[in-house]
Structure 1
Amino acid sequence: MKNILVKNIRKLSGLDTKEKAILLLLGTHFEGETPQLSELVKYSKMDQRIVKEAIKGLKKKGFKVDIKVRKKAK
Protein backbone atom coordinates (compact mmCIF):
# COMPACT_ATOMS: atom_id res chain seq x y z
CA MET A 1 0.00 0.00 0.00
CA LYS A 2 1.34 3.41 -0.93
CA ASN A 3 1.54 6.41 1.34
CA ILE A 4 -1.68 8.43 1.43
CA LEU A 5 0.30 11.68 1.10
CA VAL A 6 2.13 10.58 -2.04
CA LYS A 7 -0.98 9.11 -3.67
CA ASN A 8 -2.92 12.36 -3.25
CA ILE A 9 -0.20 15.00 -3.55
CA ARG A 10 -2.14 17.15 -6.02
CA LYS A 11 -5.12 17.46 -3.65
CA LEU A 12 -3.08 18.73 -0.68
CA SER A 13 -3.36 22.42 -1.55
CA GLY A 14 -7.16 22.35 -1.15
CA LEU A 15 -7.09 21.16 2.46
CA ASP A 16 -7.48 23.22 5.61
CA THR A 17 -5.08 23.01 8.55
CA LYS A 18 -6.88 20.36 10.61
CA GLU A 19 -7.31 18.10 7.56
CA LYS A 20 -3.60 18.45 6.73
CA ALA A 21 -2.66 17.56 10.32
CA ILE A 22 -4.78 14.39 10.33
CA LEU A 23 -3.57 13.41 6.85
CA LEU A 24 0.05 13.88 7.95
CA LEU A 25 -0.51 11.59 10.94
CA LEU A 26 -2.14 8.97 8.72
CA GLY A 27 0.71 9.19 6.21
CA THR A 28 3.56 9.01 8.71
CA HIS A 29 2.77 7.56 12.12
CA PHE A 30 -0.09 5.29 11.03
CA GLU A 31 1.17 4.41 7.53
CA GLY A 32 -0.36 1.12 6.40
CA GLU A 33 -2.53 0.82 9.51
CA THR A 34 -6.18 1.44 10.30
CA PRO A 35 -6.04 3.46 13.52
CA GLN A 36 -8.86 3.95 15.97
CA LEU A 37 -10.40 7.37 16.35
CA SER A 38 -9.12 7.54 19.93
CA GLU A 39 -5.53 6.99 18.71
CA LEU A 40 -5.83 9.86 16.24
CA VAL A 41 -7.21 12.09 18.99
CA LYS A 42 -4.36 11.13 21.32
CA TYR A 43 -1.53 11.71 18.85
CA SER A 44 -2.97 14.84 17.24
CA LYS A 45 -3.85 16.40 20.62
CA MET A 46 -7.10 17.65 19.07
CA ASP A 47 -10.66 17.37 20.30
CA GLN A 48 -12.56 14.30 19.10
CA ARG A 49 -15.17 16.43 17.30
CA ILE A 50 -12.44 18.27 15.38
CA VAL A 51 -10.81 14.99 14.30
CA LYS A 52 -14.18 13.58 13.16
CA GLU A 53 -14.87 16.77 11.20
CA ALA A 54 -11.44 16.62 9.55
CA ILE A 55 -11.92 12.97 8.55
CA LYS A 56 -15.36 13.76 7.16
CA GLY A 57 -13.83 16.63 5.16
CA LEU A 58 -11.06 14.39 3.81
CA LYS A 59 -13.57 11.78 2.69
CA LYS A 60 -15.69 14.46 1.03
CA LYS A 61 -12.64 15.70 -0.91
CA GLY A 62 -11.89 12.23 -2.27
CA PHE A 63 -9.31 10.85 0.16
CA LYS A 64 -9.68 7.20 1.08
CA VAL A 65 -9.46 7.38 4.87
CA ASP A 66 -10.19 4.28 6.93
CA ILE A 67 -10.41 4.47 10.70
CA LYS A 68 -11.91 2.22 13.33
CA VAL A 69 -14.74 3.67 15.35
CA ARG A 70 -15.74 1.84 18.48
CA LYS A 71 -19.47 1.24 18.77
CA LYS A 72 -21.14 2.33 22.00
CA ALA A 73 -22.51 -0.48 24.13
CA LYS A 74 -26.25 -0.43 24.64
Structure 2
Amino acid sequence: MSQKEGLRANSSQFTLEGEPFRILGGSIYYFRVPRAYWEDRLLKMRACGVNTLTTYVPWNLHEPERGVFNFQDQLDLK
Protein backbone atom coordinates (compact mmCIF):
# COMPACT_ATOMS: atom_id res chain seq x y z
CA MET A 1 0.00 0.00 0.00
CA SER A 2 1.48 3.36 -1.01
CA GLN A 3 1.24 6.38 1.23
CA LYS A 4 -0.27 9.57 -0.21
CA GLU A 5 2.09 12.51 -0.50
CA GLY A 6 -0.37 15.18 0.53
CA LEU A 7 0.57 18.85 0.26
CA ARG A 8 4.30 19.57 0.14
CA ALA A 9 6.40 22.67 -0.41
CA ASN A 10 9.87 23.19 -1.77
CA SER A 11 11.78 26.37 -2.53
CA SER A 12 9.81 27.17 -5.67
CA GLN A 13 6.34 25.61 -5.50
CA PHE A 14 3.73 23.55 -3.72
CA THR A 15 2.80 20.06 -4.86
CA LEU A 16 -0.35 18.12 -4.04
CA GLU A 17 -0.12 14.36 -4.48
CA GLY A 18 3.05 14.95 -6.50
CA GLU A 19 1.48 17.42 -8.95
CA PRO A 20 2.22 21.18 -9.05
CA PHE A 21 -0.41 23.05 -7.03
CA ARG A 22 -1.11 26.76 -6.73
CA ILE A 23 -2.91 27.91 -3.61
CA LEU A 24 -5.53 30.52 -4.42
CA GLY A 25 -7.09 31.78 -1.23
CA GLY A 26 -9.99 33.96 -0.31
CA SER A 27 -11.68 35.14 2.86
CA ILE A 28 -15.28 35.17 3.96
CA TYR A 29 -16.54 36.66 7.18
CA TYR A 30 -19.55 34.49 8.00
CA PHE A 31 -20.85 36.93 10.61
CA ARG A 32 -21.13 39.69 7.96
CA VAL A 33 -22.92 37.58 5.33
CA PRO A 34 -26.53 36.54 5.98
CA ARG A 35 -26.59 32.79 6.63
CA ALA A 36 -29.04 32.30 3.75
CA TYR A 37 -26.25 33.42 1.36
CA TRP A 38 -23.38 31.32 2.74
CA GLU A 39 -23.72 28.47 0.26
CA ASP A 40 -24.09 30.88 -2.67
CA ARG A 41 -20.96 32.83 -1.68
CA LEU A 42 -18.90 29.67 -1.21
CA LEU A 43 -19.99 28.32 -4.60
CA LYS A 44 -19.09 31.64 -6.24
CA MET A 45 -15.66 31.56 -4.62
CA ARG A 46 -15.12 28.02 -5.90
CA ALA A 47 -16.24 29.09 -9.40
CA CYS A 48 -13.52 31.78 -9.28
CA GLY A 49 -10.91 29.12 -8.56
CA VAL A 50 -10.54 29.68 -4.83
CA ASN A 51 -9.26 26.46 -3.25
CA THR A 52 -8.33 27.77 0.19
CA LEU A 53 -10.69 29.63 2.51
CA THR A 54 -9.85 31.73 5.54
CA THR A 55 -12.03 33.38 8.13
CA TYR A 56 -11.61 34.70 11.61
CA VAL A 57 -13.81 34.09 14.61
CA PRO A 58 -14.88 37.29 16.36
CA TRP A 59 -14.91 35.89 19.87
CA ASN A 60 -16.58 39.01 21.27
CA LEU A 61 -19.69 38.02 19.27
CA HIS A 62 -19.60 34.39 20.42
CA GLU A 63 -19.01 35.25 24.08
CA PRO A 64 -20.75 38.61 24.59
CA GLU A 65 -20.18 38.35 28.35
CA ARG A 66 -17.92 36.05 30.31
CA GLY A 67 -19.30 32.51 30.34
CA VAL A 68 -22.24 33.28 28.02
CA PHE A 69 -21.74 31.66 24.60
CA ASN A 70 -23.68 32.12 21.38
CA PHE A 71 -23.27 29.71 18.46
CA GLN A 72 -26.83 30.01 17.16
CA ASP A 73 -28.26 31.20 13.84
CA GLN A 74 -25.84 33.63 12.16
CA LEU A 75 -23.06 32.63 14.56
CA ASP A 76 -23.38 28.86 14.01
CA LEU A 77 -19.98 27.76 12.69
CA LYS A 78 -21.23 24.46 11.24
* Rg (Cα) greater in structure: 2
Bigger RCO (CA 8 Å, 6+ sep): 1
The structure whose residues are more often strand, as a share, is 2
